[in-house]
Amino acid sequence: MQIKFGTDGWRARIADDYTFDSVRRVAQGFVNYLQQAGLARQGVVIGYDKRFQAEHFAAAAAEVLAANGVKVWLTDGATPTPAISYAVVHKGAGGAINITASHNPPTDCGFKVRDPRGGAIPPADLQKIEAVIPDVAGVKQMKFDDAVTDGLIELFDVTAVYTARLESLIDVQPIKDAGLTVLVDAMWGNGAGWFPRLLAGGKTVVHEVHNDRNPMFPHMTRPEPIPPNVDHGLSFVRPVGADVAIINDGDADRVGLGDEHGRFIDQLRVYGLLGYYFLELRGERGPIVKTISTTKMLNKLGKLYDVPVYETGVGFKYIAPKMVEVGAMLGGEESGGYAFRQHVPERDGILAGLFLLDMMVRTGKKPSQLLDMLFAKVGAHFYDRVDSTFDSERKPQILANVAQARPQTIGGLKVTDIITIDGHQFIMEDGGWLLVRFSGTEPIIRVYCETTHEERVQDILQDGLRIAGLR
């Protein structure tokens, strides 16, 4: 079986393509890559999420690295992806392996890799890893206990190190003292326990839901912080009298936001809020990196505050290298993943949640009022997305349909440009856009749009489906 890395790592169905033998093969390929790059001697951090058998897949990967003489720091429990990434920097490691499928359905597991900065590895280097993944016969192994005895595998708890890092980036005391009531939906994942621990000891009260381990992810189809997966969690906002809801995905590198009424605030608006928070409230300046699938509100903010905005393809394998290249203040994508300057070039859903709480404290406003502030600057923007499955044999025809499309209007708005950085993005006369692209992690075609015309959103999406030949 050929193993290919998608938008962020390799993901597959457990016990089908995702087996212990496959995990060991990818681990050996990563070792081979690290050896060629001269990074293997620095060691590797390995962590994992709360999916089925994740800790055992992580141990299998550790055994392979140890058999190759590579030092492994293995987390002693399920650990947020941003904490794993920061541990790479803290340990001076050559990279990281993270056993997680992030927001995928419960049937899946995954294998992410990170570079010495803790960021996503660029596409060209991912291809190098793919090229040196051996068959099973080419995998080295040793027993876990022997590797621990020999000092090649060391269990460690990243909690104290990561907590100190967060507290160096944001003063949490004003949030503790603010007397907020915060609902946190951990989506049965790695973010559980972090906000209660970080905000303990003050007037602010944190209520957590979905904070146990349950790899079936009840009340949601997947641990992705968008509707309908967030609906059950948001139903607790009014009963507990919450001022805000913070939602983390399964590995806690993404954040979702709910307002004081239990209404979801989409992730494009959240990125707009974060941009406004850093530029206006914190007075910071620096480049912003965004994927083409996220909000044009950032482009407007960039013009207002005279900072450059760079657009990339979808995925942190594009965002992280660009952030490093330009020294970005912010980097983010439509999925709700945001990264920050002076931290690792990696999505951090916990830190993002703290920044959003700090925005509320600094302004004295609730989430719905924060949106009013943002829209007063850049105008109201409206977003939605449709995901459609398709038969694999139809993919070439769908690709051809989209590539050949030259619509004059979409949703009744004139098309002014077509951008092909990743998929096909049709720019409309109001500055809004329609994007049609294939998922890099699942057999799904995604149709996204953002517009200043709320009443046109669904018409734009339907036109996108027609362009792809799915209507």
Q: Band of the pLDDT at 365, cuts 50, 70, 90?
A: very high
Q: Is the four-CA dihedral 296, 298, 304, 309 of positive or negative sign?
A: negative
Return the number of other C-beta atoms located less than 10 Å from residue 144's C-beta: 17
* Cβ atoms of 240 and 291 closer than 8 Å: no
Residue ranges covered by each domain of the chain? 10-162, 170-378, 382-467
3-state secondary structure of 256: strand
Taking only the tens place, the pLDDT of each residue in 309-364 is: 999 999 898 999 999 999 999 999 999 999 999 999 999 999 999 999 999 999 99
Whole-number pLDDT of residue 69? 98
Q: Which two tokens stand for residue 111?
A: 């294998």
Return the number of other C-beta atoms located less than 10 Å from residue 391's C-beta: 8
* Cβ atoms of 109 and 78 closer than 8 Å: no
The amino acid occupying position 343 is H
- From 3.40.109.10, 3.30.310.50, 3.10.180.10, 3.30.420.40, which CATH number describes the 382-467 domain? 3.30.310.50
Q: Residue 244: enclosing H or E segment and its boundaries?
A: strand 244-248
Placement of tokens 């999406």 in the chain: 461
Whether this prediction's pTM lies above 0.85 is answered by yes
Q: Residue 44: enclosing H or E segment and its boundaries?
A: strand 44-48
- From 3.30.565.10, 3.30.70.150, 3.40.120.10, 3.40.50.300, which CATH number describes the 170-378 domain? 3.40.120.10
In CATH, 10-162 is 3.10.20.90: no
Return the number of other C-beta atoms located less than 10 Å from residue 203's C-beta: 12
Contacts of 32 (CB under 8 A, 6+ apart): 129, 132, 133, 134
Query: Among 45, 195, 32, which residue's Cα sits nearest to residue 117?
Result: 45
* Cβ atoms of 34 and 40 closer than 8 Å: yes
Whole-number pLDDT of residue 394? 87
Residue 274 scores a pLDDT above 80 = yes
Q: What is the largest CA-CA distance in the chain?
A: 68
d(CA 319, CA 147): 36
Taking only the tens place, the pLDDT of each residue in 278-300 is: 999 999 999 999 999 999 999 99
Q: Which two tokens stand for residue 426?
A: 């049709």
Asked whether this chain's domains 10-162 and 382-467 adopt the same fold, the reply is no
Return the number of other C-beta atoms located less than 10 Å from residue 172's C-beta: 20
